[in-house]
């Protein structure tokens, strides 16, 4: 039994083997994406410099304050989205790089960077914005009220 399991594991490992050329190609694509994002107007650093000064939208009436507040919130969310996207692209690049050498053979700095990106993504996660969470809540409500759950959702699949 042990020999057949070992053979099966070796066969699965062989099936997962990816040559260096393929990994290098993926890594180049990821690096190019990071460069494009960093140089684009969607870069979190460029977004930070395109904010309006307070009072630009008017002064002396509540709507101007509300509008400016909404503008600031959108700007902040765009910066967060841009930074999060850059982090996720970087993490994908690191993961592609690691696929060739395995996690145990990675230097501590790279491991720390991956942990940092994962922690930031975890902290930024908002369940109320997750379509899958909404889908699960909807299914729970249907089940609670005895409504049939035919698997369809209002929002569809992502």
26-71: pLDDT as tens digits:
777 777 877 887 788 777 777 777 777 777 878 888 888 888 888 8
Q: What is the pLDDT of residues 75-84, one digit of tens each?
A: 888 888 888 8
**Which band of pLDDT confidence, cut at 50, 70 and 90, is reported for residue 149?**
low
End-to-end Cα spacing for the chain = 42
Contacts of 118 (CB under 8 A, 6+ apart): 91
pLDDT at res. 151: 52
Question: Cα–Cα distance between 108 and 129 in angstroms, integer?
Answer: 33
Q: What is the pLDDT of residues 96-115, one digit of tens each?
A: 777 766 767 778 898 899 99
The vertex-126 CA angle with 117 and 137, nearest 5°, equals 135
Instruction: Flag whether the pTM goes above 0.75.
Output: no
Q: What is the pLDDT of residues 113-129, one digit of tens each?
A: 999 999 999 999 889 88
Contacts of 55 (CB under 8 A, 6+ apart): 68
Question: Cα–Cα distance between 9 and 3 in angstroms, integer?
Answer: 10
pLDDT exceeds 60 at position 156: no
Question: Cα–Cα distance between 60 and 80 in angstroms, integer?
Answer: 30
pLDDT at res. 75: 84
pLDDT exceeds 60 at position 157: no
Instruction: Report which listed range, 20-24, 30-34, 154-158, is most confident.
Output: 30-34
pLDDT at res. 24: 66
């Amino acid at each position: 039994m042990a020999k057949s399991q070992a053979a099966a594991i070796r066969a699965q490992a062989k099936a997962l083997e990816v040559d260096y050329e393929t990994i290098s190609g993926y890594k180049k694509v990821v690096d190019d994406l990071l460069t494009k994002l960093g140089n684009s107007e969607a870069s979190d650093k460029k977004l930070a410099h395109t904010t309006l000064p307070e009072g630009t939208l008017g002064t002396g009436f509540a709507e101007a304050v509300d509008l400016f507040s909404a503008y600031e919130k959108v700007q902040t969310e765009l910066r967060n989205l841009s930074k999060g996207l850059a982090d996720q692209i970087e993490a994908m690049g690191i993961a592609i790089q690691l696929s060739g050498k395995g996690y145990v053979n990675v230097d501590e700095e790279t491991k720390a960077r991956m942990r940092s990106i994962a922690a930031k993504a975890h902290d930024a996660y908002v369940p109320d914005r997750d379509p899958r969470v909404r889908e699960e809540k909807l299914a729970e409500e249907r089940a609670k009220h005895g409504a049939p759950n035919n698997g369809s959702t209002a929002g569809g699949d992502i």
